[in-house]
Amino acid sequence: MTPIIEKDLPANAPDYYEASLENGSLVMKPYCACGNSLDEDYFCEKCNRKCHCNLIICDNEETIELVKRYARKSSKFSGFKTKLADDV
């Protein structure tokens, strides 16, 4: 999946996860709204702030359908918005 580049984001862009399937398992990688990859503490060194990912950007239809299934089954996923990478 191609990372989102800062210049393509609107001023109010959210922090987000990039979601994909690897060997049938869902993998989600956190990113700051600026496009910087985040570590486990979700702190962006570039922006000098703690990030809060509320959007899941999925690489394809199969991934987004799995995320939506998780959202229906688990309250941990219910607060997230989802989009396909092609729609961003």
For residue 5, what pLDDT is reported? 44
Beta-strand runs (E) in 1-88: 15-22, 25-31, 43-44, 49-50, 53-58, 81-84
CB-CB contact of 29 with 40 (8 Å): no
14-53: pLDDT as tens digits: 999 999 999 989 999 999 999 999 999 999 999 999 999 9
- pLDDT > 50? residue 60: yes
Beta-strand pair 53-58/49-50: unpaired
Least trusted range by pLDDT, from 14-23, 53-62, 75-84: 75-84
